[in-house]
Amino acid sequence: MRAAQTSSRLPSADVVEKQCSTVTWEQGVRSMRLEAAGLSDVGTQRDNNEDCFLLDTELGLYVVCDGMGGQSAGEVASATAIETVQSTLKVFKADLENFKDTPSARAQLAKLVEHCVQQASKKVYQLARSTNGRAGMGTTLSMMVVQGHVGVIGHVGDSRIYLLRQGKLDQLTQDHSLLAELVRGGTPIEKLRNSVLGGMLTQAVGLQPNVKVDTLFVELIEGDRLLFCSDGLVGHFETPPEVQSLLVANASPREFIDFANGADHGDNVTALVINVSHSPERPIEDAQKQDEYVLAKLNSVKNVWLFKRLNLREFSQVMNRVGELELEPGVTVIEEGELSDKLYIILQGRLEVSKGGEVINVLESGQHFGEMALLSAKTRTATVKTLTVTSLLTIEKEDFTALLEENARLGTKLLWTLADVLIERLG
């Protein structure tokens, strides 16, 4: 096991490596408390361990890497990537400490996470080109930076990050592998189970100086449990059911390792588990309100027919594009006859809908209006005005279009849903 860390409460990385022990600590970042533990193992069929992981409480940084390349090059690639991400993020430590959860701050944090991964790719690539026997070395990289209740994921390769929330397990990352691409393209999994393509990546840190990085925001709540792991734990296809059972049982990293070795997956295996709770110093009412607000936003978006088929990872991609409005009573949200290009989702409050000066409807929490404007700017056929203090979620056409362009598979799913609804309405 090769672990990197910065907290003085832990032994040095060298000592941790020799002991092959679990690394455990707590991170109390403002409103949230994170208890994290990680363990890596060489596995049942390998002579060396090319996995590497990091827990850095001071930066709120959690990383798993799975290196590749002969003659110990994989070990070098994974360790170099983690060291580079950590050192790059340290430069911005003051900015992290002053983080305030606003749309612009989130955008900057996402750019910072991507910058860290790009720096890691450049460093590994340069090292591979300058060192004999290390040409072509690279690594997967799955990381999260947590500030307050907001986590930002950066992901390349086929290591995975899972979230267990209220008994439901979701994979937050998407595998960048040839097998995964074939499955997403419609090839039956059963035809690929014994394929020689296992482990062939379509994206990896260090193969080129620049790499495409998936970024994703996750708003954390009390009781969330996260699992970061290399493919030695879960393989290349469906998530083994034992993984969810172990997470539900609050299993330790050692228990995940024992499961993988017992199944004789053969590969190096790494498990990093994070339990999320609210800081004990925070008033209980404030903590509960925050959790309720996070869940209310997700549920409100799920109620929009356009997004009903999405999983949590896809919902999170949509939520990255969502704006928020707080309005007093008597505010006109849209005016009859005006051009608009925005979807509105009512998180809280009541609004009246009028046409030609006559009230024709009253909208309440959980309802939405203006979804067709996401396809093209439309002239509004009615006026909508707030009756009470109102919280709205908004998605603009420009952001919706960018979402479709950035993720072709998500875009296809949304457009198919749209087509189904239009056919139903026209029929």
Q: Where are the domains of the chain?
A: 3-282, 285-426
pLDDT higher for 163 or 196? 163
The mean predicted confidence, pLDDT, of the chain is 86
Label residue 36 by pLDDT band (50, 70, 90).
Answer: very high
**Looking at the DSSP assignment, which residues form a beta bridge with residue 205?**
139
Q: What is the pLDDT of residue 22?
A: 40
Instruction: Give the mean pLDDT of 202-206.
Output: 95
pLDDT digits (tens, 9 = 90+) for 288-315: 999 999 999 888 888 888 888 888 888 8
Superfamily of domain 3-282: PPM-type phosphatase domain (3.60.40.10)
Name 291's Cβ contacts closer than 8 Å, sequence gap at least 6. Answer: 221, 222
DSSP symbols for 365-400: TT-EE-GGGGTS-EE-SSEEEESS-EEEEEEEHHHH
Name 248's Cβ contacts closer than 8 Å, sequence gap at least 6. Answer: 164, 167
Label residue 71 by pLDDT band (50, 70, 90).
Answer: low
Superfamily of domain 285-426: Jelly Rolls (2.60.120.10)
pLDDT over threshold 50, residue 20: no
Q: What is the CB-side half-sphere exposure of residue 287 using CA atoms within 13 A? A: 16
What long-range pairs does 90-99 form, CB within 8 A, spacing at least 24? 90/59, 93/58, 93/59, 96/59, 96/60, 96/145, 96/147, 99/147, 99/148
Q: Looking at 40-49, 282-291, 331-340, 403-412, which range is the least confident one?
A: 403-412
Tokens encoding 150: 């907001």
Q: What is the pLDDT of residue 89?
A: 97
Going by the DSSP 8-state scheme, the letter that residue 227 receives in this structure is E
Instruction: Give the mean pLDDT of 232-257.
Output: 91
Query: pTM (2 decimals)?
Result: 0.85
**Looking at the DSSP assignment, which residues form a beta bridge with residue 218?**
151
Label residue 377 by pLDDT band (50, 70, 90).
Answer: confident
Q: What is the CB-side half-sphere exposure of residue 228 using CA atoms within 13 A? A: 30
pLDDT over threshold 60, residue 10: no
Three-class SS of residue 211? coil
Q: Looking at 182-191, 324-333, 376-385, 404-413, which range is the least confident one?
A: 182-191
Instruction: Give the mean pLDDT of 44-54.
Output: 90
Strands (E), 50-96: 51-56, 61-68
pLDDT over threshold 50, residue 13: no
pLDDT over threshold 90, residue 150: yes
Q: What is the pLDDT of residue 268?
A: 93
Are 276 and 221 in contact by the 8 Å Cβ rule? The answer is yes
Label residue 253 by pLDDT band (50, 70, 90).
Answer: very high
SS3 content of the chain, % helix, strand, coil (to 5): 35, 30, 35
Measured from the Cβ of residue 133, the count of other Cβ atoms closer than 10 Å reads 11
Range picked from 46-55, 83-92, 332-341 for highest mean pLDDT:
83-92
**Looking at the DSSP assignment, which residues form a beta bridge with residue 417?**
none
Instruction: Give the mean pLDDT of 78-107.
Output: 93
Tokens encoding 23: 């690394």
Q: What is the pLDDT of residue 26?
A: 52
pLDDT over threshold 60, residue 19: no
Instruction: Give the mean pLDDT of 31-56.
Output: 91
What is the distance, to the nearest Å, from the Cα of residue 131 to the centroid of all Cα atoms in its chain?
34
Are 274 and 15 in contact by the 8 Å Cβ rule? The answer is no
Three-class SS of residue 192? coil
pLDDT higher for 309 or 257? 257
Instruction: Give the mean pLDDT of 68-91.
Output: 91
Q: What is the pLDDT of residue 425?
A: 67
Q: Rounded to an integer, what distance in angstroms lies between the CA atom of residue 67 and that of residue 73?
A: 8
Of all residues in the chain, what percent carry a pLDDT higher than 90? 54
Q: Rounded to an integer, what distance in angstroms lies between the CA atom of residue 266 and that of residue 44?
A: 5
Q: What is the pLDDT of residue 18?
A: 27
